[in-house]
Chain A
Amino acid sequence: MISSTIGIWNYWIVFCLMMIGLFLVIGRKNFLKKIVGLTIFQTSVFLLYITFGKIKGGTPPILNETIDSIYSNPLPHVLILTAIVVGVATTALGLSLVLRINTEYGSIEEDDISAQDLVDYHDDIETGKSVDLKFKQ
């Protein structure tokens, strides 16, 4: 019982971590926090993949002549190596988007930004400007 619980304990916590990341992305209104949530989500997916590749009593997949050993699965390691670098590229792109939003609106809170957009929209209607132009410029 205990060994089987330990055997899938990693999965449980990894799923909890994924959900915390997802909550930070969809529940919080601060854009920086959303990007942190994306990072948390990514890292927990990496952990899930690496957990699949583990073999009990295995060694890291580096060939060794002297001892006869069983190697852990190298394929998830390769996929995750690629994913880590892509994840940092995504983080950099997201952070630069947040910086750009901050220079345009002076805020990175979603509520603030949608309120400003709403005020602009009503101003445009009152001054008789065509609303479509606003999105074309």
Chain B
Amino acid sequence: MISELLINAFLVTIMLSIAIALIKTRTVIFTVILTSAYSLVAALMFITLDAVDVAFTEASVGAGISTILFLAAMAYLPKKEEESISSEFIPALSCIILGGILIWCSYDLPEIGQVTAPIHQHIAPEYIRGSKEDIGIPNIVTSVLASYRGYDTFGETIVVFTAGVAVLALLQKKDPTKKNKSQPKQKIRKNA
């Protein structure tokens, strides 16, 4: 049992190092590739945590489609990130304080993998029993997704549709018969 947890701890530490590299890098292509690697390691973590469906989706959607979107957007954007003039001290300090509070609270959380944790008591045993008797699908995740919580999936479809419409509205070409009001303004120097 302890080996499972060790593998988890190792993988999650790799994720931490990738995230720190993301803070350091200022080149856009490195940022995109590191994000993709982060998603892939997250997919590995999901496999060791028994969430095979989630791992599958994360590897294809999180590491695949997101990366394609980022690469496509990258082609039209500046390749380098500029150093910001304002200080990053206050955001960093507030993040560190919030993280400290969260880690302090983590002592109240149940240890990983305990059967007595509250999350395993309430409705999950019903789903596991009902998946075979009521629905007859061996994959419990599928039966919960499509049957018990079908409304959630319906709402997700609406969200994706809305996002698609919004992306189309934002990226549509301007009507050439109208006067083009918004020329890209001249780039001004930072200290202007």
Contact = CB atoms under 8 A, between A and B. Distances in A.
A9 B10 CA distance: 10
A108 to B, nearest CB: 6
Given A23-B92, A71-B140, A84 B62 contact: yes
B50 interface: yes
Nearest to A40: B19
Contacts of A15: 99, 102-103, 106
Contacts, number: 306
7 contacts: A3-B5, A26-B91, A50-B54, A75-B124, A84-B54, A96-B73, A115-B188
Contact of A111 (B9, B91, B140, B190): B190
Contacts of B31: 32-33, 36
B86 A29 contact: yes
Interface of B: 1-2, 4-6, 8-9, 12-13, 15-16, 19-20, 22-23, 28, 31-32, 35, 38-39, 42, 45-46, 49-54, 57-58, 61-62, 65-66, 69-70, 73-74, 76-78, 81-82, 84-86, 88, 91-92, 94-96, 98-99, 102-103, 106-107, 109, 111-115, 117, 119-120, 123-124, 127-128, 131-132, 138-141, 144-145, 149, 152-153, 156, 159-160, 163-164, 166-167, 170-171, 181-182, 184-188, 190, 192
Interface in A34-89: 36, 39-40, 43, 46-47, 50-64, 70-82, 84-89
Nearest to A64: B138
Nearest to A75: B124
A62 B184 contact: no
A85 B160 contact: yes
Given A50-B51, A74-B140, A75-B144, A10 B9 contact: yes
Nearest to A137: B181
B184 A106 contact: yes
Nearest to A8: B106
A88 B63 CA distance: 10
B171 A100 contact: yes
A120 B61 CA distance: 41
Contacts of B95: 19-20, 22-23, 26-27
Contacts of A63: 131-132, 138-140
Q: What range describes how many residues of A lie at the interface?
A: 35 or more
B92 A32 contact: no
A107 to B, nearest CB: 6
A74 B127 contact: yes
Contact of A89 (B86, B144, B163, B190): B163
Contacts of B124: 73-75
